[in-house]
Amino acid sequence: MNGASSEHLSLTAGKTRLILAWGAFFWALAIFLWLQGGLDKAVQVAHEPLRQIPLLVDAALAMSRYGMTACILVYLVLLTRSLGPGGPKDLQKVFLPIVLSFALAGAAGDLSKGAFDRPRPFVEYPSEISSVIRPASSSLPSGHATKSFALVLPFAVFAGGELKKRKALRGGLAAAAAAIAYTRVLMGVHYLGDVLAGAGTALLFLPLIVMAANALYRWKKVEGARMQSLARVCGLILAGMIFYLVRYS
């Protein structure tokens, strides 16, 4: 992956191993928490008093439903700026992996739910754990955690630059993904292990996303004006994702 042009994504072998190791670790920890049972349950029970605070519940609901949409709006602003004169052209290469990561890791997470078929906390412990909402799907992994981390990881890893604003933006988006994931625990619809598995799924898919994006860049010789055109297409897809998220989050 190091032979890509300056227009393409660069992920060293060392970084790839580190990302895969963290993804595997999160999944291993999630499975351990599921099999152990007590720790996952204890975390949920500890959150039960928080679910009796209306202001906190409303904030969690808003973050859960609109947090990813807010991240996409940030991307659309950055994309628009990158297309203008003097804009940050280096960001244009990031939007394709963002779209691919959300689509592929998100789909894998949703399919995994049926394979593991873990009951939701409020289903498994109805007398001890209430919930703010009652989704019908299975619990492992958390779809919100998978999609939110999948949405921000490519930007956090590949939106380089030493500017303080760029670093702060990467950190803010990562914090938003973590907050979105946490709301699912707070609302009683996911265990901590489910959230860790979601983050692990996004991490495990990231190297594959990089390979797919670079393969497309090389195949279509995407550089310069072609990169701008592809960025515009990704912008349209991101805008369409907002409607999906508002309807189904």
Q: Could you list the pLDDT tens digit for every one of the 249 residues in the chain? A: 433 344 588 888 999 999 999 999 999 999 999 999 899 999 999 999 999 999 999 999 999 999 999 999 999 999 999 888 888 888 889 999 999 999 999 999 999 998 999 999 999 999 999 999 999 889 999 999 999 999 999 999 998 765 678 888 999 999 999 999 999 999 999 999 999 999 999 999 999 999 999 998 888 787 778 888 999 999 999 999 998 898 877
Strands (E), the chain: none
Domain ranges of the chain: 13-248
Structure-block tokens of residue 36: 């152990």
Q: Half-sphere exposure of residue 223, counting CA atoms within 13 Å on the CB side? A: 8
* Residue range 13-248, CATH number: 1.20.144
DSSP per-residue codes, 158-221: H-----HHHHHHHHHHHHHHHHHHHHHHHTTSS-HHHHHHHHHHHHHHHHHHHHHHHHHHHHTT
Q: Residue 108 has what pLDDT?
A: 96
What is this structure's pTM?
0.91
Q: Residue 7 has what pLDDT?
A: 53
